[in-house]
Structure 1
Amino acid sequence: MPVTSVESDAEALTMTLIADFPVGPERLWAVFTDPRQLERFWGPPGWPATFASFDFEPGGRARYSMASPTGEIARGSWEFVAIDAPRGFEVVDSFVDEDGDPIDGMPAMRMTFAFDETERGSRLTNITYFDSLDALEQLTAMGAVEGATLAMNQLDAVLVGLREFAQGKGTRLEILDDQHVRITRLIDGPRELVWRAHTDPDLMRRWMLGPDGWRMSVSEVDVSVGGTYRIAWEPEEGTEGEPFGFDGETLLIDEPRRIVQTEHMTGTDYPSTTNDLSFYEEDGATLVTLLIEYPDAATRDAVLATGMVEGMEQSFERMERVVLG
């Protein structure tokens, strides 16, 4: 993970994040000054950012929003105070409303971004300056330390490019905390088709099968916010196993970038999870990212122990053969 430390200083009224990367400072500079690349990591997992404007000059402003899995929107604004290309820049970061006006009761913070060369690449030093101890404590209580760490730890994939980062590495699992895991898989195909493969019942029946010897017996999918779905599998003749399935509700859709759904094992009293599925295309390949929120660590571990990730890899391999091939 790139982030090496995040420290709050109550006397200096600062929060300092330090992260190291295996690329030069010019590459870091490029990522932080291009809104399309910023969108891939500025929001923490589950709260992806969208920059609506980016006027990168002293006195200019950038406006962004972040959407939660349930559709809750948090909005922010940067005012660019100073720019020293390619070594760093300084902004005033504010919470804003739909019109871009500061929200009463929410602090504005001065932030500096410094990009320095190291023996192995470069170092990001991000310092946030607060006006008061109350403001520092307020942001800390809102999860600023955890959110900043998770956000910056997404930078690896952005810096090196999708194919170098993920191609040939199969389905990868990252345990983010007790309740969250992130699963990624690079698919060699366009985003629109990968999106359809995940939302079209006819295509789903062709690849979303897990190990050989199983078939999808139910595929009822309403791809609309508030719509419900039900999918189920059963073993083919000669394959051992018991039929099972899942049902849930669609919470958010941003076609073809993101779909968020609840997932519950049909016919059981097991708790539901929230599955946040996103698609990012670069150079003809699509990175599929699934962020799963579990109710607790015990449920997380029980689900992962079923071999879920291995089954997903077999399904993704099948998608590449029968849907994209």
Structure 2
Amino acid sequence: MPVTTVEKDLDQLTITIVADFTAPLRRLWDAYTDPRQIERFWGPPTYPAAFLRHDAVAGGRSVYAMTGPEGDVHYGCWEWTSADAPRSFAVLDRFSDAAGVPNTELPATRVEFAFEETDTGSRLTTTSRFDSLEQMQQLIDMGMLEGTREAMAQIDQVLADLASFAAERAVEAQILSDTQVRVARVIRGTVDQVWRAHNDAALMQRWLLGPDGWSMPVCEIATTVGDSYRYEWQRDGGDERFGFTGELLESEAPHRAVTTEAMIGMNFPATLNELTLTEVEGGTLLALVITYANAEQRDAVLATGMTDGMETSYRRLEGLLQPTLA
């Protein structure tokens, strides 16, 4: 078990947990900032977590759901108050509803995560700060310490599983809920490069093409919140054509963009697409959380093999970025 010490300071209203790992510092940092990894250990085994949003930057937000053995779902959210990769980050951890709206009737905890190298690997010191002794005791009574120990006992297995998160992995889609899917891939390039690749029309027309044999004659990008975008593709040498349109709802360059998306000429409900870019070892983790109207629409879209077309496009993008990185 990685937890080496647990110290309660009633005068300072803090609980400090120290855990040691044999993994390198950067590997441990990525485990906390990559939503695919942290959700494998954030909740105890009986309450596994799913991160619906995870902005690993100062000013960002995270929203997670923990599902119990009886199917009961409990939500929490983080407000990222600081982030200094790969050394430290701090969050305000709260209970919330499914939309990530904090529950002000339950205690909030200010948590600082400090990462450091050791002779045998790396160490994580987690300091939780409370507003009152009553709040501190309330969370202890709710099983905070036991849950944290059980959760952190799972980290070693995640850290050892390098293959599941390597940059060589193709695009993967993970079902988060009845209506949500997260598509993820590590792109060999910097966060700024990948952001630009999604906001430069001339560049997009060179890589966002899906399978070979298609071109992108229309690429109208939304540059300001409230603007609309329009993308259209056409098969080479033929009349077959399709496209998407939508609105830019949020933009926090170079880490996050939220848009709606509807297929042109079709009567399907629009989806909500939340794009997050996170620096990880090997490049940039692109995570796209897609919210559908219902499970039927979700399953129908996944059945089209959309991830295959995305993988072809991302490989094409890496081919454009590699000369720049060389």
**TM-score, with length taken from structure 2:** 0.60
SS at match of 2:319: helix
Quote the residue 1:17 is aligned against.
none
- Indicate conservation of the 8 Å contact 2:80/2:91, yes or no: yes
Quote the residue 2:139 is aligned against.
109
Cα distance between partner residues in 2 of 1:320 and 1:267: 32
Letter aligned with residue 52 of structure 2: P
- Indicate conservation of the 8 Å contact 2:167/2:282, yes or no: no
Quote the residue 2:246 is aligned against.
248
Quote the residue 1:52 is aligned against.
81
Cα distance between partner residues in 1 of 2:163 and 2:283: 8
- Indicate conservation of the 8 Å contact 1:91/1:112, yes or no: no
Unaligned runs of 5+ in 2: 1-18, 39-49, 56-60, 62-78, 84-89, 113-122, 133-137
How many positions carry a matched residue from both structures? Answer: 240
Unaligned runs of 5+ in 1: 1-23, 55-61, 81-85, 95-101, 103-107, 117-122, 127-151
Matched, 1:124 2:156: no
Q: Which aligned pairs between 1:147-166 and structure 2 lie closer than 5 A?
A: 156=158, 159=159, 165-166=165-166
Cα distance between partner residues in 2 of 1:27 and 1:93: 30
Could you say if the C-alpha distance between residues 171 and 207 of structure 1 is closer, same or farther in structure 2, counting changes exceeding 3 Å? same
- Indicate conservation of the 8 Å contact 2:186/2:282, yes or no: no
Cα distance between partner residues in 2 of 1:65 and 1:174: 25
- Indicate conservation of the 8 Å contact 1:166/1:185, yes or no: no
Quote the residue 2:183 is aligned against.
183
Cα distance between partner residues in 2 of 1:289 and 1:93: 32
Letter aligned with residue 92 of structure 2: Y
Provide Cα deviations, 1:128-149, integer angstroms capped at 9, x if missing partner: xxxxxxxxxxxxxxxxxxxxxx
SS at match of 1:112: helix
> Offset of 1:198 from its aligned partner?
1.0
Q: Percent identity?
A: 34
SS at match of 1:46: strand
Cα distance between partner residues in 2 of 1:223 and 1:27: 44
Quote the residue 2:287 is aligned against.
289
> Offset of 1:87 from its aligned partner?
9.9
Provide Cα deviations, 1:195-216, integer angstroms capped at 9, x if missing partner: 1101111111000000111000
> Offset of 1:109 from its aligned partner?
3.4
Quote the residue 1:167 is aligned against.
167
Cα distance between partner residues in 2 of 1:163 and 1:223: 36
Cα distance between partner residues in 1 of 2:224 and 2:185: 25
Counterpart pick for 2:314 among 313, 316, 324: 316
Provide Cα deviations, 1:51-77, integer angstroms capped at 9, x if missing partner: 3159xxxxxxx54379x9xx9764953
